[in-house]
Structure 1
Amino acid sequence: MSVKVLILEDNPVARSFLCKVVRESFSDALQIVEAADLESARREVQVHGMDPLNGIKLMLVDLELPDGNGMDLLSDLMGTPPLKVVTTLYSDDEHLFPALQCGADGYLLKEDRFEVLVEELQRIVRGQPPLSPAIARRLLGHFRPAHADTAPSGLHSNFGALGGNGPNSRPVPLDPTSGETARLSPRENEVLTYLSKGFTIKEIANLMGIKWYTVNDHIKSIYKKLNVSSRAEAAVLASKQGLV
């Protein structure tokens, strides 16, 4: 009997990518059910059920959808058998912690390499929580006391993606007169302006006439250059620079 997996993702390219990740991750016979919006996902859940024997065993849930938010589905199904893993572009606290509070059993970043996503999903078989490396680091940094510094010094260099020098570092706000944002390219400045005004990645892509994954690359570059780790921190700097 095949294992049923539901993939909720509105972008067809990303959905196809996630299907490949799932097929590569598990040796079991799989029945992958695809849904492009919240309504379709809820309908598939009703059709296939969630009982331990024949129902959906694993769900990959995108957050921002055309007709709502994946967190709504997580909340609806909180406490039910399927393992629910968020697959998203967002690594900030504003998305991570609400998703976990809504019942997500794991949190993966679609921007991670194919091999990384496969390895993280395979953790399910070993009973370990599927978390992208950057998300695992963020969780450790959030719950570790601010004064704690028990990690070996050799590990600290692995936490650079969070914009600090170690697992407990917080991004240091830039002086708005320092000219740091001048290092952003014109395209990155445009993305930062839209981002600060609250537009989603998909909306920014449509406004700029580029692909969503190109916008995501720009955002990662912006975060790195400005030494920030969330939309809110980037918005503060953009406001100080008069971009919004």
Structure 2
Amino acid sequence: MTVKVLIIEDNPVARSFLCRVVRESFSDAMEITEVGDLENARRQVAKFGGANGDVGFKLILVDLELPDGNGMEFLTEINGSTAIKIVTTLYSDDDHLFPALQCGADGYLLKEDRFEVLVEELQRIVRGQPPLSPAIARRLLSHFRPSSSDSGTMPLNSGFGALSTSQAAFANSRSVALDPPPEWERLTPRESEVLTYLSKGFTIKEIANLMGIKWFTVNDHIKSIYKKLNVSSRAEAAVLASKQGLV
């Protein structure tokens, strides 16, 4: 199955560079659509999108500064979608980073990073980790270190999808209720199977191999699980899975 990718970047050179990064990062067959502004990005979503938050693309790379507006507008518009949304920008400051995460970005990459670094960071997706440029990861760690000093840990390894909540997800892990939420019963058999593997520590790519499906499909299941169980990390989901005897 071909994976549809949307790259929103007004600079032709940068757009070509990001296309090469995406193709190098994944072994799946890719169908990449390139646009240079928000108007055309919205047109593509309207053309290929469907119901239940489907925008027609599995992976979206979006620049923040575009000729007809800010990329954060687009992130907000598709915040409820199942697509993996990655910011690709030159801005590494807090004024751009945290609002982008709050708007629904699942990752934040700096276009100034080397080709090899960007490839490595995008590949983190299949390992169940948020793609973050090294400088951005250090910035997040530095920003939240004071608020996490009591526990001595940082929730930066909570698995892909944790970024799509808000910056507070990096500061404090939510406590899990003693009893599973009513939404538990709504998990499909496939989602329960994914949750079982996820709780046992398998990566997204490993789960995909075990189940014979694409890793993008596994990621969609994980996002649905997080939403239904009202959790934002692999650890929280694992606790509920353990209480239900799945692991």
Q: TM (normalized to structure 2)?
A: 0.58
Q: Which residue in 2 is equivalent to 1:57?
A: 58
Matches within 5 A, 1:197-236: none
Letter in 2 for 1:97: F
Aligned to 1:47: 47
1:162-241 → structure 2 map (5 Å cutoff): none
**Residues 50 and 82, structure 1, Cα contact 8 Å, conserved in 2:** no
SS of 2:58's partner is: strand
Counterpart of 2:41 in structure 1: which amino acid?
A: A
**Residue in 1 aligned with 2:93?**
92
Q: Which has the larger radius of gyration?
A: 1
The DSSP-based 3-state class of the residue aligned with 2:105 is: coil
Structure 2: gaps (5+ residues): 154-247
Q: Distance in 2 between matches of 1:50 and 1:106?
A: 24
CA drift at 1:62? 0.1
- The answer to whether the Cα contact below 8 Å between 1:9 and 1:65 also exists between their aligned partners in 2 is yes
Q: For residue 206 of structure 2, what is the aligned residue in structure 1? A: none
Alignment CA distance shift 1:67-1:35 (3 Å): same
Letter of the 2:137 counterpart:
A
Distance 2:81 2:16 in 1: 26
* Corresponding residue number in structure 2 for 1:38: 38
For structure 1, the 5+ residue unaligned runs are: 152-244
**2:146 corresponds to which residue?**
145
Identity %: 75
Name 1:7's counterpart in structure 2.
7
Which 4+ stretches in 1 moved above 2 angstroms? Answer: 50-55, 146-151
Give CA-to-partner distance per residue, 1:84-138, whole Å, 9 cap, x none.
0000000000100000010000000000000000000001111100000000010
> Which residue is 1:229 aligned to?
none
Match of 1:131 in 2: 132
Question: 2:104 is matched with which residue?
Answer: 103
Decide whether the 8 Å contact of 1:63 with 1:71 is kept in 2.
yes
Partner Cα distance (2:100, 2:123) in 1? 21
* Aligned Cα root-mean-square deviation (Å): 2.1
Distance 1:67 1:8 in 2: 12
Note if contact 2:55-2:81 (Cα within 8 Å) is conserved in structure 1. no
Deviation, structure 1 residue 50:
5.7
Change (3 A) 1:54 1:78: closer
Task: State the Cα deviation string for residues 174-227 of structure 1 (Å, max 9, x = none).
Answer: xxxxxxxxxxxxxxxxxxxxxxxxxxxxxxxxxxxxxxxxxxxxxxxxxxxxxx
Aligned to 2:195: none
Residues 50 and 80 in structure 1, CA contact (< 8 A), matched pair in contact too: no
Find the aligned partners of 1:76 and 1:53 in 2 and give their Cα distance.
Answer: 12
Instruction: State the alpha-carbon separation in 2 of the partners of residues 73 and 94 from structure 1.
Output: 17
The equivalent of 1:24 in structure 2 is: 24
Shift of 1:55: 2.5
Distance 1:67 1:146, change over 3 A: same
- The change in CA–CA distance for 1:50 and 1:116 in structure 2 (over 3 A counts) is farther
What is the count of residue pairs matched by the alignment?
A: 151
Instruction: Find the counterpart in structure 1 of residue 183 from structure 2.
Output: none
Give the TM-score taking structure 1 as reference length. Answer: 0.59
Q: Name the CA distance, whole Å, in 2 between partners of 1:77 and 1:42.
A: 10
